[in-house]
Chains A and B, each alone.
Chain A
Amino acid sequence: MKLPWKKGACPSRPSGQTGRRIPANGIDPDRIIRFTFDGTSYDAYPGDTLASALLANGLHLAGRSFKYHRPRGILTAGPEEPNALMELRTGARREPNSRATVTEIFDGLDACSQNRWPSLRMDALGVNGLFSPLFTAGFYYKTFMWPAAFWEKVYEPLIRRAAGLGRAADAADPDLYEKTTTFCDVLVVGSGPAALAAALVAGRSGARVILCEQDSVTGGRLRADRTDIDGVPGWQWADRTVTALRQMPEMRIMTRTCVFGTYDGGTYGALERVADHIPCPASGQPRQRLWRIVARRCIVAGGGIERPMVFPNNDRPGIMLAGAVRTYINRFGVVPGQRAVVFTNNDDGLCTAVDLQHAGAAVTAIVDTRAEASDMAQQVARGTGARLFTGGTIANTYGRLRVHAAAIRDRSGRVRHVACDLIAMSGGWNPELSLTTHLGAKPVYDPELCAFTAGSFPPGMLAAGVANGTFTTAGCLHEGAARGQEAAAACGFDTELPPLPAAPRESYGIQAIQPAPRDQAGGDGKAFIDFQNDVTAKDVRLAAMEGFRCVEHVKRYTTLGMATDQGKTSNINGLTALAQQTGRDIVRTGTTMFRPPVQPVAIGALAGAHRGRHFKPDRLTPTHEWARQQGAVFTANGIWHRAQWFPQDGETHWRDTVNREVRTVRTAVGFCDVTTLGKIDIQGPDAATFLDRLYVNGWQKLPVGRVRYGLMLREDGFAFDDGTTARLDEQHYVMTTTTAHAGAVMQHMELCHQWLWPELDVHFISVTDEWAQLAIAGPRSRDVLRHVVDPDTDLSNDAFGYMHAAEITICGGQAARLFRLSFSGELAYELAVPARYGDALARLLMKVGAPYGIAPYGTEALGVMRIEKGHPAGPELNGQTTAHDLNMGRMLSTRKDFIGRTMAARPALTDPARPTLVGLRPVHAHDELVAGSHLLPHGAEATGAHDQGWISSATWSPTLDGWIALGFLSGGPGRHGETIMVHNPLADSQVAAVVCPPTFFDPAGDRLHA
């Protein structure tokens, strides 16, 4: 931070900056940077915000209001800004609704005003103000009621165009975003006197401390006010303190980082604006970083937000919060006006008069709503030469694009017009409580402070300073230090309180929140409460008169506090107006809840790196690279990528390829990567008992070296998953699950073992990723395998028959597992090798299988063959089918307990009329059957009343030279041979089909036993 030039040594006015710059603590006047606003280029200094730079260039008009398109100026100097919302940058980086008050200027910044046409100064929709009766409380509900058809075509587009915010970029965001997590003992939110004192004490104790400041610089209000600490300007004390903090090894100071939410378990969300203040991020640098901070203690010391005063036409450009005026003067060296009126209900607002005069501006009037002039008011009025209107109010203001006069009503009711180009208003300060209420704590009203303070805190949270209702600098320092000590001690770090620096005890002297004005005779103008959503005092009164007395209802009916600023400057004034109208005090009126985020958070930051293809991980099979080299087309199976088919030269349609792959398996031999099936290794003395309870069928009698098909139910009796389990040894099984349910089955087994039957002595682990497993299928598969397995394994049908399993060696000693399983219905094996050999195995099979005509096949051919064989898969095990529906009712053992047994026996689940698995063949073999079609009795009208089931899977069968399908038909097994109608409502087509057993091909199973 460069020091400002010395007093009295003001440089001449920089080119382009029409406003006069004075010495200030937050800008570097040695360098001029240029930015563009609405196409015109302007000068600024490093350290400026867009708002301070606009004001320095004499531009108060910054935007148009939401509903009435009224000219609006810069109201605040912080993140609570409701008016000065801009579009920043251009092209893919264009970002709407950016608050000029927190936008750091950089060389080349391109900013545009929004919600105006054709220009900011000349906005055609300003006529909306003339139709304001249409836009009162609840106008969405009242004005646009009928006809209903008008909503979509007329009203909504109209509202959206007129009540606009900015335009989002049309192109994808080119920037990177990061998400990260960190831990600390004490998190300090803010960097004003309370926060710095807290960090200093906690840091000295040795605790790990993180201090987050949303602003680009530390110091908080010490940069905005002329407060001396220890005999030096407060901002210098802050800089020195921060320098000292940075020396501490366990201290981390994060600027441009807004803590936006409090979450359970001491977790806080924070957004770090890493590269918002530069034209574009450096290569690889994130634009923003989302932090999850886990803190054992959190000290909220984020200060407060000033309330506007509510008076007619209180929204003209040039009417600003008093504290913001001081920020622009002291931090940025910008004096926002030369003839000022100060309108306040407290002593703090009077400081603005002092600072304005000190900066060389004239203060023509001080309007103080308090009935008695405070000592400070009298003193300031004398010192500044301003006329003091004790007990006065502002009755109206004048000036279209900039305020030029105020009508001041004195305590006697007499109205005087005073020329001015700035009205600095202070309705008092609200402690910034948001973080304390995110977990549901209700704030409480403090009548002394005329503000809400934290009623209770979430576990581990403390507050200090203005955020805690302590409004003096000395009090902030003292309370911050005490909280820092308390927080550190709670984390096991004890420390003494250091001597505190000398600091002022400012007077505040607020007596009441100024009530909103009653309707003036003749309707003097709108008195705005919510500037961003254009909600006036009259709207709140109207809502109350219409019966909306609950603050949450008023909020939604009037939209008060529902804009992107979340009512930071408006909520309490709205509450006051409601209390006034309903004749209740504020305590009984209540307050609305704050919810995270405290400030807007870009979706990009929440998404972080999880976008596009990085949204989910890619899970690749061991043969993926080999398959890619073969020209395979891949399909997504969950996060797995699987080869769908392997096109060869001359094949013009995927169906040609799939038909060829099926024919290859049926006539010669093919192989397919089935690694994606879940594999769970189960061991222990109670393994068989455990399997008995998981599966519907029995497992005790399965011999070692054999495989069995098993069906699992959910506890509600519906089918959950199926697969085969092999017994490799007395106490050793290996289970396979479907690809889709591999994770869910594992979780289910963990629950059953740990929660239901912890007495079972069994252990299991997922080995899906440990083994590459290839299915080798077809009449020549045994011939191919003989070239792979070591000679001591006898592959003959007698020695290694259907449903056998063995641990073997291949390729001269490499351990492998061989299963004689068939999903295709052919003589087939599944060979498992350690995953790292999957690729080599595929290449070996291609080589040794070549003489037998081997070809790889993908999931599509796999699917065709399993339909030809009537094997249920995902579309059949869809979570709504039972074992009976799948023709597996007889598998349900009656001699043991198993998951789902009792509920599966419910009459409704065993009703023969339930749609049950059947096969379907069209009467004309080439009539296409489509999955999802409805099954109707032949000749019945296609209505829901005649619906008897559906097709779950359908395919063209190259083996049978016709379409085939699996489906669920009411009373299905008893209707084999019946002709029914297949109705596809999407294509409005009907196909006659014959019901048959679901096994279309080789029903006796001769081929797989070969």
Chain B
Amino acid sequence: MRLNCPCCGPRGLEEFTYRGDATVHRPGTDAPAQAWVEYVYLRDNPDGWHRELWYHGAGCHAWLVVTRNMRTHEIADVARAADVARLARENAGS
């Protein structure tokens, strides 16, 4: 498997570390306990497209949001997590 790192270009899987679901979001300190339990422990295992976090530890150290098809391993998009997070904030703010 190869990931097209936005900073480094296409690189082999062994340069990356998988973390997991990029669709869960860290609740605020005042969020109910259930929200925290879901954030820390509960994960979906979708059949099809999924967004997940990968770390380019043997490359640029960027965290990446990878849009990957869980059934075919097809990769539709690789974006820098920082860009995704910033965009999400801007959208939430506007």
Q: Is the interface of B mostly helix, strand, loop or mixed?
A: mixed
Question: In the complex the two chains form, what is the Cα distance from A746 to B57 in whole Å?
Answer: 10
Q: Which A residue's beta carbon lies closest to that of B80?
A: A754
- Chain B residues whose CB sits within 8 angstroms of the CB of A264 once the complex forms: 1-2, 73
A897 contact set on B, CB distance < 8 A: 28-29
B window 16-50: CB within 8 A of A: 17, 19, 26-29, 31, 33, 36, 39-41
Residues of A close to B72: CB separation below 8 A: 439-440
New A-B contacts (9) at CB < 8 Å, excluding given A294-B10, A746-B61, A902-B31: A264-B1, A264-B73, A265-B3, A266-B2, A294-B2, A439-B72, A716-B40, A750-B55, A754-B85
Q: Which of A267, A459, A747 contacts B55 (CB 8 A)?
A: A747
Smallest CB gap from A715: residue in B: B40
B85's closest neighbor in chain A, by CB?
A758
- In contact, B82 and A755 (Cβ under 8 angstroms): yes
Ranked 4 nearest A-B pairs via Cβ: A265-B2, A264-B1, A754-B82, A264-B73
Alpha-carbon separation in the docked complex, A715 to B86 (Å): 21
**Are A751's CB and B36's CB within 8 A?**
no
Q: Is the CB of A755 within 8 A of B63?
A: yes
Question: Which residues of A, 249-278, contact B by the 8 Å Cβ criterion?
Answer: 263-267
Given A264-B1, A265-B2, are A756 and B85 also a contact pair (CB < 8 Å)?
yes
- Interchain CA distance A292-B73 in the complex, whole Å: 18
B74 at the binding interface (Cβ < 8 Å): yes
A931 interface residue (CB < 8 Å to B): no
CB-CB contacts below 8 Å: B79-94 with A: 80-82, 85-86, 89
Least CB distance, B31 to chain A, in whole angstroms: 8
Contact B1 A754, beta carbon cutoff 8 Å: no
Question: Is the beta-carbon distance between A754 and B63 smaller than 8 angstroms?
Answer: yes
The closest CB in chain A to the CB of B65 belongs to A755
Could you say which of A459, A755, A903 has the most chain B C-beta atoms within 10 Å of its C-beta?
Answer: A755
Query: A820 interface residue, CB < 8 Å from B?
Result: no
Chain A residues in the interface with B (C-beta under 8 A): 181, 263-267, 292, 294, 439-440, 459, 715-716, 743, 746-747, 750-751, 753-756, 758-759, 897, 901-903, 906
Is A902 within 8 A of B55, CB to CB? Answer: no
In angstroms, Cα B18 to Cα A751, docked, is 12
With a cutoff of 8 Å between Cβ atoms, the chain B residues found around residue A459 in the complex are: 74
Please give, as numbers and ranges, the residues of chain B lying within 8 Å of A716 by CB-CB distance.
40-41
Q: Is the CB of B1 within 8 A of A263?
A: yes
Which of A294, A746, A755, A903 has a CB less than 8 Å from the CB of B81? A755
Whether A265 contacts B81 by the Cβ 8 Å rule is no
Q: Are B29 and A751 in contact (CB under 8 A)?
A: no
Closest chain B residue to A901, Cβ basis: B29
Once A267-B1, A754-B82, A903-B36 are accepted as A-B contacts, the answer to whether A439 and B17 lie under 8 Å apart by CB is: no
Residues of B within 8 A of A (CB): 1-3, 10, 12, 17, 19, 26-29, 31, 33, 36, 39-41, 53, 55, 57, 61-63, 72-75, 80-82, 85-86, 89
CA distance A754 to B39 in the complex (A): 18
Are A181 and B12 in contact (CB-based, < 8 A)? Answer: yes
Shortest CB-to-CB span from B58 to chain A, Å, is 11
Q: Is the CB of B36 within 8 A of A902?
A: yes
Provide the bound-state CA to CA distance between A118 and B10, in Å. Answer: 57
Check B57–A747 contact: CB distance below 8 A: yes
Contacts of A747 in B (CB 8 A): 17, 55, 57
Chain A neighbourhood of B1, CB < 8 A:
263-265, 267
Whether A751 pairs with B40 at a CB distance below 8 angstroms is: no
> Which residues of the other chain, A, contact B40 by a CB distance below 8 angstroms?
715-716, 903
| A751-B12 contact in complex given A266-B2, A439-B72, C-beta closer than 8 Å | no
A751 & B55 in contact (Cβ 8 Å cutoff) = yes
Shortest C-beta distance, A616 to chain B (Å), equals 14
Q: How far, in Å, is B84 (CB) from chain A's closest CB?
A: 8
Closest-CB distance, B5 to chain A (whole angstroms): 13
28 A–B contacts, CB within 8 A, in A order: A264-B1, A264-B73, A267-B2, A267-B12, A292-B12, A294-B10, A294-B12, A439-B73, A715-B40, A716-B40, A747-B17, A747-B55, A750-B63, A751-B53, A751-B55, A751-B81, A753-B82, A754-B80, A754-B82, A755-B63, A755-B82, A758-B85, A758-B86, A897-B29, A901-B29, A902-B27, A903-B40, A906-B33
On chain A, the residues within 8 Å of B19 by CB distance are 751
For B57, the chain A residues whose CB sits under 8 A away are: 743, 747
Q: Which residues of A contact B36 (CB under 8 A)?
A: 902-903
Residue of A nearest to B41 (CB): A716
A758 to B26, Cβ gap below 8 A?
A: no
Alpha-carbon distance between A607 and B39 when the two chains are bound, in angstroms:
39
B26 touches A756 (CB 8 A): yes
CB A330 to nearest CB in B, in angstroms, measures: 42
Most buried by A among B17, B19, B29, B63: B63
CA distance A267 to B3 in the complex (A): 12
Give, as a whole number of angstroms, the nearest-CB distance from A25 to chain B. Answer: 40
A763 to chain B, nearest CB (A): 11
Give the chain B neighbours of A181 by CB distance below 8 A.
12
| Least distance between A158 CB and chain B CB atoms (Å) | 43
Cα distance A759–B93 in the bound complex, in angstroms: 13
In chain B, what residue has the closest Cβ to A900?
A: B40
Contacts of B33 in A (CB 8 A): 902, 906
- What is the CA–CA distance of A541 and B21 in the complex, to the nearest angstrom? 47
B2 touches A755 (CB 8 A): no
Return chain B residues, CB-CB under 8 Å to A440: 72
Q: Using CB atoms, name the residue of chain A closest to B55.
A: A747
Contact residues in B for A263 (Cβ distance below 8 Å): 1
Cβ B81 vs Cβ A754 within 8 A:
yes
Asked whether, in the complex, the Cβ of A754 is within 8 Å of the Cβ of B29, the reply is no
Chain A residues with CB under 8 Å of B73's CB are 264-265, 439
**Residues of chain B within 8 A of A266, CB atoms compared:** 2
Complex CA–CA separation, A902 to B3 (angstroms): 34
Nearest Cβ distance between residue B83 and chain A, in whole angstroms? 8
Q: Which residues from A are CB-within-8-Å of B41?
A: 716
Contacts of A715 in B (CB 8 A): 26, 39-40
Q: How far is the CA of A938 from the CA of B85 in the complex (A)?
A: 56
Q: Which chain B residues lie closer than 8 Å to A753 at the CB level?
A: 82
With both beta carbons as reference points, the residue of chain B lying nearest to A458 in the complex is identified as: B72
CA distance A263 to B62 in the complex (A): 24
Within 8 Å CB of A294, what residues of B?
A: 2, 10, 12
CB distance from A236 to the nearest CB of B (A): 40
Q: Closest A-chain residue to B89, C-beta based?
A: A759
User: How many angstroms from the CA of A750 to the CA of B55 in the assembled complex?
Assistant: 9
Please indicate the chain A residues that have their CB under 8 angstroms from the CB of B86 in the complex: 758-759
